[in-house]
């Protein structure tokens, strides 16, 4: 079914349509959250919260303001970052060592059966450090272009073109 | 706009990341509507990110059922029935309390107004009683004076200038004072004043007893005047304001001799 139609039905509180959208994006949202909180149980809890929150504020989404996936991504990152600011997280943090999505990809032993993920793992390992950092900050951490430029000590315009190159390599590998 | 350059600029990757300004988001959205290649590019970038982020998930798959049972789905059906009812009760509650509140305020202000009115009326009444008792005291004193056998009564008759005028003097020799009843005199013209004289007849020697400068203001026209003279007659003349040293006999209004 057409994605735009699905979104419209979701905004009219159609649960069936929402289930389809959920299946499209729940793993990605979970991945982003996991990258920030680094705890399976917490990740599952926050992912559920994000999809409940998105349902409750469905009417605030407008396709003119951005992609539906980007909208979900924002809710997820904010929810995860809120959690990292809580006491609960600070107590658990000492056991964590993986700081980047790359580390998570490399340290995960039992990935699901999707071949893409296995290929992705190989690809990501080969990515340059700059690409890893740019992708990490822009997509996983929700940094702005300016914040990324400051964090990586890179000119503002370079962030934009470098990111384009990195995503281009990723797409070639994934065939999208 | 050249869609190829637009795509190559890297703005679409940032669009999917959600880091553009509201204005830039609007711009990309319009470009997507206008150029199918821009839209296709955005969808491809999005797919790449969806897969990349998916790979960061480390736990077992989730079930939509966990989310579904927490979604509020019956809301749209319940709201139209329930809402007006609660609203009506709520609004009428507010309205009632507003009404009671304004009645209370109105009553309070009415009460205050009444209190003020009562206070004013009481004051007026007190003033009336006060003046009535003062008048009564004055009248009693007059009656006492008139009845006293030691008081000499001297009627003063109207003279040539004003034949209809009359007055009366009650002379209390014990206290050396006279009570002059001047009710029979006309109002003095403006700038003029009545002057009272004690007279000795042979030879004619007038002594001023004073001017009736409060004549117009005095209600009962009875004046108490000190008189230590051995008067043989009393006269009243009309004089210029402030009085004269000797009487203007052409303006003699009333005159009366003391009967011995």
Arithmetic mean of pLDDT, B165-170: 92
Return the structure tokens found at A122. Answer: 């190989």
Distances (CA, A) of B253 to A48, A156, B42, B256: 120, 119, 125, 11
Chain A CB within 8 Å of residue B22 CB: yes
Contact B155, B166 (CB under 8 A): yes
Looking at per-residue pLDDT, the higher value among A69 and B76 belongs to A69
SS3 B167: strand
pLDDT over 90 at B148, yes or no: no
Chain B CB within 8 Å of residue A20 CB: no
Arithmetic mean of pLDDT, B67-79: 68
Contact A160 B11 (CB under 8 A): yes
Helix (H) or strand (E) holding B177: strand B177-181
Tell me, what's the pLDDT at B49? Answer: 93
Looking at per-residue pLDDT, the higher value among A101 and A66 belongs to A66
Distances (CA, A) of B247 to A51, A58, A117, B59, B187: 120, 113, 139, 133, 19
The structure tokens 């059922």 sit at: B65
Q: Phi-psi region for residue B162, left (φ > 0), alpha (ψ -120 to 50) or beta?
A: beta
Domain boundary assignment for chain A: 1-96, 97-176
Domain boundary assignment for chain B: 3-58, 84-147, 151-257
Q: What percent of chain A has pLDDT over 70?
A: 82
| DSSP-derived pairing of the beta strands B151-158 and B252-257 | antiparallel
B151-257 belongs to CATH 2.60.40: yes
pLDDT over 50 at A109, yes or no: no
Contact B48 A40 (CB under 8 A): no
Q: How far apart are CA B78 and CA B84, in angstroms?
A: 11
Return the structure tokens found at B71. Answer: 């979604």
Tell me, what's the pLDDT at A113? Answer: 45
Of A19-28, A90-99, B245-254, give the lowest mean pLDDT range: A90-99
Alpha helices in chain B (DSSP H): 3-8, 11-17, 22-34, 36-54, 64-68, 75-147
pLDDT over 70 at B135, yes or no: yes
CA distance B47 to chain A (A): 7
| B182-209 confidence digits (pLDDT tens) | 989 999 998 899 999 999 988 888 999 9
Q: What phi and psi, each to the nearest 5 degrees, are found at residue B196?
A: -100, 135
Contact A47 B64 (CB under 8 A): no
Tell me, what's the pLDDT at B58? Answer: 80
Contact B240, B231 (CB under 8 A): no
Chain A CB within 8 Å of residue B19 CB: yes
Q: Which letter, b or e, does each residue of A1-39 get, where b requires 16 or more Cβ atoms within 10 Å of its Cβ?
A: eeeeebbebbbebeeebbbbbbeebbbbbbbbbbbbbbb
Contact A69 B70 (CB under 8 A): no
Q: What phi and psi, each to the nearest 5 degrees, are found at residue B181?
A: -95, 105
The burial of B120, by beta-carbon neighbours within 10 Å (0-12 exposed, 13-18 middle, 19 or more buried), is given as: exposed
The burial of B35, by beta-carbon neighbours within 10 Å (0-12 exposed, 13-18 middle, 19 or more buried), is given as: middle
Task: Pick the most confident of A109-123, B92-106, B149-163.
Answer: B92-106
The listed CATH number (3.40.50.2000, 2.40.50.100, 1.10.10.10, 1.10.20.10) that belongs to domain A97-176: 1.10.10.10
Identify the band that residue B74 occupies on the pLDDT scale cut at 50, 70 and 90.
low
Q: How many CB atoms lie within 10 A of CB B88?
A: 10
**All residues at 6 or more sequence positions from B45 whose CB lies less than 8 Å from its CB, including other chains:** A167, A171, B12, B13, B16
pLDDT over 90 at A101, yes or no: no
Class of the CATH domain delimited by A1-96: mainly alpha
Q: How far apart are CA B73 and CA A18, in angstroms?
A: 11
pLDDT over 70 at A118, yes or no: no
Tell me, what's the pLDDT at B239? Answer: 93
Looking at per-residue pLDDT, the higher value among A123 and A57 belongs to A57
Tell me, what's the pLDDT at B86? Answer: 64
pLDDT over 80 at B260, yes or no: no
CB-nearest partner of A138 from B19, B59, B70 = B19
Q: How far apart are CA A36 and CA A84, in angstroms?
A: 8
Q: Phi-psi region for residue B248, left (φ > 0), alpha (ψ -120 to 50) or beta?
A: beta
The pTM for the full model equals 0.55
Q: How far apart are CA B81 and CA B76, in angstroms?
A: 10
Contact B236, B211 (CB under 8 A): no
């Amino acid at each position: 079914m057409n994605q735009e139609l699905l979104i419209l039905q979701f905004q009219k509180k159609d649960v069936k349509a929402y289930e389809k959208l959920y299946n499209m994006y729940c793993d990605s949202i979970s991945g982003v959250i996991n990258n920030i909180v680094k705890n399976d149980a917490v990740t599952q809890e926050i992912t559920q919260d994000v999809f409940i929150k998105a349902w409750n504020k469905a009417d605030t989404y407008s396709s003119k303001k951005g992609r539906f996936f980007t909208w979900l991504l924002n809710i997820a990152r904010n929810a995860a970052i809120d959690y990292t600011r809580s006491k609960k997280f600070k107590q658990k943090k000492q056991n964590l060592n993986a700081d980047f999505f790359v580390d998570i990809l490399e340290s995960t032993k039992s990935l699901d059966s999707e071949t893409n993920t296995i290929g992705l793992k190989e690809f990501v390992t080969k990515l340059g450090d700059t690409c890893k950092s740019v992708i990490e900050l822009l997509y996983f951490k929700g940094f702005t272009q300016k914040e990324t430029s400051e964090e990586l000590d890179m000119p503002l315009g370079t962030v934009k073109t470098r990111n384009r190159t990195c995503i281009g390599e990723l797409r070639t590998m994934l065939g999208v | 706009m050249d869609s190829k350059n637009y795509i190559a600029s890297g703005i679409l990757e940032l669009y999917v990341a959600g880091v553009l300004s509201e204005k830039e988001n609007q711009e990309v959205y319009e470009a997507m509507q206008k150029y199918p290649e821009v839209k296709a590019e955005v969808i491809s970038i999005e797919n790449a990110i969806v897969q990349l982020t998916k790979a960061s998930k480390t736990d077992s798959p989730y079930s939509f059922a966990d989310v579904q049972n927490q979604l509020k789905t019956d809301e749209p059906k319940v709201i139209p029935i329930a809402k007006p009812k609660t609203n009506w009760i709520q609004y009428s509650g507010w309205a009632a309390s507003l009404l009671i509140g304004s009645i209370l305020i109105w009553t309070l202000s009415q009460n205050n107004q009444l209190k003020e009115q009562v206070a004013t009326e009481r004051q007026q009444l007190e003033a009336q009683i006060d003046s009535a008792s003062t008048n009564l005291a004055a009248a009693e004193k007059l009656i006492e004076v008139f009845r006293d056998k030691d008081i000499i009564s001297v009627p003063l008759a109207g003279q040539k200038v004003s034949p209809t005028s009359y007055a009366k003097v009650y002379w209390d020799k014990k206290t050396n004072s006279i009570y002059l009843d001047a009710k029979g005199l006309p109002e003095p013209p403006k700038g003029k004043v009545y002057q009272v004289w004690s007279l000795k007849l042979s030879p004619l020697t007038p002594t001023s007893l004073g001017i009736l400068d409060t004549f117009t203001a005095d209600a009962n026209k009875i004046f108490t005047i000190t008189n230590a003279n051995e008067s043989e007659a009393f006269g009243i003349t009309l004089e210029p304001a402030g009085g004269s040293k000797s009487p203007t006999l052409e303006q003699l209004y009333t005159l009366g001799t003391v009967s011995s």
